[in-house]
Chains A and B, each alone.
Chain A
Amino acid sequence: MERRRFLEAAGGALAASLAPRPLLAQAPPAFAQSADSQALVKRATRGKEARVGKVKLDLPLLADNGNSVPMKVAVESPMTAADHVKTIRLLSERNPEWEMAAFHLGPYSGRAEITSRVRLAGSQRVVALAEMSDGSYWMGTADVTVTLSACVDGTG
């Protein structure tokens, strides 16, 4: 049992050290800071609690080019007048503008699902934050590794 726990811990540490790291050395100082995604959520909800769940954010695990990354976000909701999604926000840890987009929906939407293409300045965690009609917040996240960052090197 002891040995198993040790191996689990060691394996976890190894996986963490192998996890992709953002290529900070190539980025100019303005991009070097990586805001904590939880802090971003707090900022977007103005201090209110956001629960994890109901929101499914689809982004590729690996994006070859950060200039155009397909994104789909769907929120579980009956979308009735009494219970619907009001706003879905996309928050970025490393983009120059942390609030990438806000999509406003209502009962007339019928379904809470948005597809678009986003720009990502480096590997990061992207948060989709949904504000419901009852004032509660739900969130889902996606971690993306970006091999070619958008807008950091000035060439494209």
Chain B
Amino acid sequence: MAARVQLPKDIRRGQVISVQILVQHPMESGYRLDADNRKVPKNAIRSFTCRYNGEEIFRAEMSPGIAANPFLQFPTLARESGELEFSWVDDAGERGSHTAPIHVAA
């Protein structure tokens, strides 16, 4: 499961920034039929977490009520440079993760 993260270009310490992430996932509702008219089983990312240098800064519980290829934009306070770590798990138990470096100017 691939993901793409977007952060603002110039980040200063103490600034509230928007973190944008797009995760590739069908978020199957369980009501869609495949080519052979069989129901595609429900499969959505249930839990999504973002950690900033190891500390949890955002968590989402989702359902098929979130559109396919879920897009999330959430705020966080820029403190220091380091790494944003995203991880998620879907109904099928499949886990995905992604990391993005964050550069904070003093």
Chain A residues with CB under 8 Å of chain B are: 67-69, 90, 92, 95-97, 99-106, 108-120, 150-152, 154-156
Further 12 A-B residue pairs, CB within 8 A, beyond A97-B63, A119-B64, A119-B65: A90-B65, A92-B65, A96-B30, A99-B65, A109-B75, A112-B75, A114-B72, A116-B66, A116-B71, A118-B67, A120-B65, A155-B33
Residues of B within 8 A of A104 (CB): 58-60
Asked whether any CB of chain A lies closer than 8 Å to the CB of B99, the reply is no
CB within 8 Å for A119 and B60 given contacts A67-B68, A111-B16: no
Chain B residues with CB under 8 Å of chain A are: 16, 18, 27, 29-33, 52, 55, 57-68, 70-77
Please determine whether B67 and A102 come into contact, CB atoms closer than 8 angstroms.
no
Total A-B pairs, Cβ < 8 A: 102
Q: Taking chain B's interface residues, is the majority helix, strand, or loop, or is none over half, making it mixed?
A: strand
Contact of A96 among B27, B52, B64, B73 (CB under 8 A): B64
Please determine whether A101 and B32 come into contact, CB atoms closer than 8 angstroms.
no
- How far, in Å, is B19 (CB) from chain A's closest CB? 10
- How far, in Å, is B74 (CB) from chain A's closest CB? 6
Please determine whether B68 and A68 come into contact, CB atoms closer than 8 angstroms.
yes
- How far, in Å, is B45 (CB) from chain A's closest CB? 10
CB within 8 Å for A115 and B73 given contacts A154-B33, A156-B32: yes
Please determine whether B71 and A117 come into contact, CB atoms closer than 8 angstroms.
yes
Please determine whether B64 and A101 come into contact, CB atoms closer than 8 angstroms.
no
Residues of B within 8 A of A99 (CB): 63, 65
Residues of B within 8 A of A67 (CB): 67-68
Residues of A within 8 A of B77 (CB): 108-110
Please determine whether B65 and A105 come into contact, CB atoms closer than 8 angstroms.
no
Residues of A within 8 A of B59 (CB): 103-104
Report which residue of B57, B59, B61, B75 has the largest number of chain A beta carbons within 10 angstroms of its beta carbon.
Answer: B75
Residues of A within 8 A of B29 (CB): 96, 119, 150-151
Residues of B within 8 A of A154 (CB): 31-33
Please determine whether B60 and A103 come into contact, CB atoms closer than 8 angstroms.
yes
Residues of A within 8 A of B63 (CB): 95, 97, 99-101
Enumerate 12 A-B pairs (CB-CB under 8 Å) in ascending A order. A97-B64, A97-B65, A101-B65, A103-B74, A104-B60, A109-B16, A113-B75, A115-B71, A116-B71, A118-B66, A119-B66, A154-B32
Please determine whether A119 and B31 come into contact, CB atoms closer than 8 angstroms.
no
- How far, in Å, is A88 (CB) from chain B's closest CB? 10
Please determine whether A109 and B58 come into contact, CB atoms closer than 8 angstroms.
yes
